[in-house]
Amino acid sequence: MQYDVFLSFRGTDIRSGVLSHLIAALSNAGVNTFEDEKFERGERIMPSLLRAIAGSKIHIILFSNNYASSKWCLDELVKIMECHRTYGNEVLPVFYNVDPSDVRNQRGDFGQGLEALAQRYLLQGENDVLKSWKSALNEAANLAGWVSRNYRTDADLVEDIVEDIIEKLDMHLLPITDFPVGLESRVPKLIKFVDDQSGRGCVIGIWGMGGLGKTTIAKSIYNEFRRQRFRRSFIETNNKGHTDLQEKLLSDVLKTKVKIHSVAMGISMIEKKLFAERALIILDDVTEFEQLKALCGNCKWIDRESVLIITTRDLRLLEELKDHHAVHIWKIMEMDENESLELFSKHAFREASPTENWNKLSIDVVAYCAGLPLALEILGSYLRWRTKEEWESVLSKLKKIPNYKVQEKLRISFDGLRDPMEKDIFLDVCCFFIGKDRTYVTEILDGCGLHASIGIKVLIEHSLIKVEKNKLGMHPLLRDMGREIVCESSKNEPGKRNRLWFQKDVLDVLTNNTGTETIQGLAVKLHFTSRDSFEAYSFEKMKGLRLLQLDHVQLSGNYGYLSKQLKWICWRGFPLKYIPNNFHLEGVIAIDFKYSKLRLLWKTPQVLPWLKFLNLSHSKNLTETPDFSKLTSLEKLILKNCPSLCKVHQSIGDLHNLILINLKGCTSLRNLPREVYKLKSVKILILSGCSKIDKLEEDIVQMESLTTLIADNTAVKQVPFSIVSSKSIGYISLCGFEGLSRNVFPSIIWSWMSPTMNPLSYIGHFYGTSSSLVSMDIHNNNFGDLAPTFRSLSNLRSVLVQCDTEIELSKLCRTILDDINGSDFTELRMTPYISQFSKHSLRSYSYLIGIGTGTGTYQEVFTTLNNSISKELATNVACDVSLPADNYPFWLAHTSEGHSVYFTVPEDCRLKGMILCVVYLSTPEIMASECLISVLIVNYTKCTIQIHKRDTVISFNDEDWQGIISHLGPGDEVEIFVTFGHRLVVKKTAVYLTYGESIDMEIEPSPEQKENALIRFIKKIVTCDFW
C-alpha cells in the first residue's frame, strides 16, 4: 500500500503534544499518513515497514531531544535518506525543541542520546552502523524544514506543515478537464478583477445556462489562488443538506472537523469564524437562495478581504444577494467557432484541429453544438475512432433525436422550474415563438392564463431563454431539449402530444384525423407553392388548441371545427376572400394573416374584445380595412404593402388603445380619416411609400402620444406647422419630400449654437416650446418651407442629409461649416478671446471622442490612448504616444493638421468603432467638451453628411453609434470635421478605426508610425515664437 506521508518520530518526547495535533490535522486534510508506531518495535525493522518507507511520497522526520537515542528511529532515518538519494522521495525535517546544528553535528542534549547508543555499538565492533547514522543525521539536518522555536504555538507549526504537505501533494488542486480550451480567455479576467480589488472583499456571480463550463471556470480560479494566503473552500451544493454544507465550509476554512447541529448555529459560526479569516469560498451550482443564506449569513465577513464566488443558472439568486452585498455578475457566453473546433478536435482526434479529410464533418458537428462546451466534449468523445459513415449517421440522427447525455445535463434547469406555468411558457417558446417579439408573445401567453410577464423573466434568470433586441431566443440545444420533452409524452402517437411542430407529425395527424384534445399548439409551415389541402374536421377533436400556425395551408370544409380556445392564429397565405363567420375568433389575442388572399377581413363586423394584434401585411387583394368598432383592445395595426387598400374605416377613431399604425407601401391609399388624428394613444405612425397621400392634417398635434412619424416617399407637399408644438414627437423621417429648399438648412445648425439669437420673427410665438425631436433623416430635399419647423427643434441631436451629386454635397458642406464658424472654416486664426491671455499661459491638449461599442479591442485602444495622452501631457517635453502593434492588430490611424481628417474605409473589414482625437490650443481652464459644437461626418462616396450636436457626441448611445457606422462602408471616402467655439484653436485631428476582425489588405505604415500602432502626438509649451 502506498502512503502520502511517512512519519518518523520518538514517541516518548512528543506523542501527547505536537504529534497528536499533526496526525489529526493530516487526517482532517485527507492525507493518507503512515505512523511507525503501528508496528511493534524490536531490534530490527520489519520488511513491511521498509516497504511503507519506500512507498511513501513524503517523509516527515520529527527530530526531538531523544530521537537519536532510539536505534529504531535511526535505522528508519538511514532507510529514508537512502530512498531520498535513490528515488528522490521528499524528506522534510521538523526540529522540535532542538537546534538544527545540534542534529547536524550530534551535540548538546541531542548528541548525548546518540553517544550513549554509540558506546554500545562500538563495543560490538559495528563502526559502519554508527557512521551510517551520523551521515543520515547530517544529511537530513541540511535539508530545509521547520524549527519549532520560530513559531508562537504548536498549532501554528502544525498548520504550516500541513499546508506545505497539501501543496506538495497537489491536494489543493481540483480536477478540471483534460483539455482546458477557452479557460485562458476567461479565467485571467476574473483573477485580475479580484486582484484589482486591492484587498477589499468581493462577491462574484458566474451565471449562465448549463453546460457552458461555469464549474470548470470556478475550479480553475480555485486552483490559481492556491499559492495566495487564502483559507479556501470549494462547496458543491447539489443534493446536500444545509448543515452538511456548513460543516464542509467551516472544516475547510478552520482546518479542523466541525459539527453543526442546526442551520442557525451554522450561520452564527460562519459569521463569527470567517470574520477573522481571509477566505476564498466558491459555492458551485447554487439552486436556491436558502443555500446562500445558510452559507453566507449577513455577508459582513466578506468585507475582510475575502472572496465569494457563486456559480448558478439562476440570475435571480444573485439579484437577491445584492440586498446583502454588492455582487459583480459575470455572464458566461458560448464558445466562438475557433474555440469550439479546437475543443471538439481535442476530444475527437487528440489534436488542436481536424485533418483536412475530417474538417467538413467536424465543422458540421461544431455548428450543431453552437458553442456549448458540454456538447462538444460529449460528441467529440463519442465520435472518436468512428468511421465517416458513422459520423454522418450520428449527425442525421441528432437532427431528430438529441444526444441523451447532453439533454440529461441541460434538463436540470427545466426540472428546477417549480411552477408548471413556467414550464408551459418554455415549451411554447421552444415550439412556436423563437425569434418573436417579447411583448407580442407575452400578450398572447397572458391571454392563455400563463402570466407570461413574470414567467419569461424567470426563464431568462434561469438561463433557459434569452432576449436580444426584444426578440425571444434560446440556445439550439435547449430548444431541442424542450421539444424532446414534448415528444417523450407520446413517442409513437404524435396526436397525443400537447404540442406539434415537426412537419411530418403534423401532416400525419391532419391527414389521418388522429388529433386529440391534448393538443394545445400546432404549427405547420408549407411552401407558398404548396397545394396540400386538408379537411377542417381534422381539428374537431382538438378542443384545447390555443396556438395555431397554418402557413400556406389549404383548408376546406366547416371552419367551425376549429377550437374556440384559440389565442394565436398565424395563417400566412390564408386562402379565402374573407374570414367565415363560423370561424371562432372571439378569444383571439393576435391574428397574423400576412400574404393572404383576403379582399375583406369579414363581411359583417365581428366582436373580438381581446384582439390586440392584427397583421394583414402583403395582402395584395385587400381593398379596405374592417369596421374597428368591436375591436376595442387593438394595439397594433399592421397593413404593410397592401397595394389595393384604398380605405381606412373611420371607426379607427374608436381604438383608444392603439399604439402602432403601419400603412407602409399602401400605394392606393389617398388619405387618412380625420379620426386617425384624434387618437391620443398612438405612438408610431408609418406612412412610407403611400405615394398618393399628399397631406398631413394640422390635427396631428392632437396625437399627444406620437413619438415617431415616418413618411418617406409620399406626395406630401407641406408638413403641418403645428407639429412644432408637439411635446412628444422625437423622430421624424421625410425622405423623398419634394417641397423644401436647401439654402435655409444651415439655420438648423445655427439654432444648435444659439437658439435665443435666432432672428426669424415668424417662429417667435413658438419660442420656448418643449419640442423633443431628436433625430431627422432628409433626402433629396429643398429645405426652405421647413425652416420655421427646424429652427424650433432645439432638442435635435442628429441630422443625416443625402445629396444627389458631389457638387451639391460640397456646396452644402461649405455652407454648413461657414454658418457654424461665421467665416472660412479652414482658416486657422488667433481669436480675440485667446489673444487677451499671455501666450506663455497657453497649452496644447488632446481631446478624445469615442464612438463605438465600448467593449473588446475598441475599449482597450480608447482606454490606453486616453491614459497615455493624459500621462504625457503632464510633462513639458515633446513626446510620442503609441501602442505596440502586436497588441492591437485591428486598427488604422489617420491624422491631419487642422479641424478635419480625411480617410478611406479599407476594403474587407468590419468597422467596429472610431476614436477621434483632437489636439487643440487653449488656456488651462477651458474644457474641450464644453466648447465642442458639433461633429460632421461627410461621406463623399455616398454623398451624405451626418451632423451630430455636442450632447450627442459626448454621450453616444447605441442608436447614435449604429447611425454613424451603418453609413460607413468599405471603400468609402470620408472626412470628419470638428467644430469648437472661439475659445480654443484646433491644431490637429486624428481618427482611429477599430475592427472586429482582421484586415486582409496590407497597409503601408507612414514614416511617423514606424512600428508603432498609433500615430505620433506632439505636445509642447507654447512660447512667444509659436505665432
Given the C-alpha cell 532507510, which residue does it identify? 79
Indicate the residue type of 444: I
Residue type, 377: E
d(CA 458, CA 749): 48
What DSSP line would sit under 798-824, residue for residue? EEEEE-SSHHHHHHHHHHHHHHHHSS-
Distance from C-alpha of 845 to C-alpha of 1019, rounded to nearest angstrom: 7
Selecting among 37, 40, 43, 76, the annotated active-site residue is 76
Under a CB-based contact definition with an 8 Å cutoff, are residues 81 and 73 in contact? no
Other C-beta atoms within 10 Å of 170: how many?
A: 9
What's the CA gap between 216 and 235, in Å, rounded? 13
Whole-number Å distance between alpha carbons of 601 and 594: 12
Q: Strand, coil or helix: what is 115?
A: helix
Under 8 Å between Cβ of 771 and 795: yes
Rounded Cα–Cα distance for residues 138 and 433 (Å): 79
Report the alpha-carbon distance of residue 326 to residue 299 in Å, rounded: 10
CA distance 544 to 566: 8
DSSP 679: -
* Residues 61 and 77 sit within 8 Å (Cβ to Cβ): yes
Q: What is the DSSP string of 628-668?
A: -TT-TT--EEE-TT-TT--B--GGGGG-TT--EEE-TT-TT
Helix (H) or strand (E) holding 156: helix 154-168
- Residue 897 catalytic? no
Spatial separation of the C-alpha atoms in residues 865 and 893, rounded to whole Å:
12
With H, G, I as helix, E, B as strand and everything else as coil, classify residue 455. helix
Q: For residues 684-699, b (16+ Cβ closer than 10 Å) or e, as one string?
A: bbbbbbbbebeebeee
Q: Is residue 53 within 8 Å of 136, Cβ to Cβ?
A: no
Q: Which strands make up the sheet holding 231-236, listed edge to edge?
A: 231-236, 279-286, 307-312, 202-207, 328-331
Residue 976: CA count within 13 A, CB half-sphere: 27
- 863, 852 contact by CB (below 8 A): no
Strands 613-615 and 636-638 come out as parallel
Pick the closest to residue 342 from 380, 315, 394, 316 (CA basis): 380
Kindly list the strands in the beta sheet with 843-851, ordered across the sheet, starting from the edge strand earlier in the chain. 843-851, 911-922, 985-995, 891-897
Q: How many helices (H) and strands (E) does the chain have?
A: 32, 35
* Residues 6+ away with beta carbon under 8 Å from 501: 431, 432, 483, 521, 522, 523
Least Cα distance to 635 among 667, 610, 617 occurs for 610
Residue 991 burial class via C-beta count within 10 angstroms: exposed 0-12, middle 13-18, buried 19 and up? buried
Q: How far apart are CA 645 and CA 666, in angstroms?
A: 6
**Side-chain-side CA neighbours of residue 775 (13 Å):** 15
Q: What is the β-pairing status of strands 944-949 and 911-922?
A: unpaired
By annotation, the residues acting in catalysis are 76
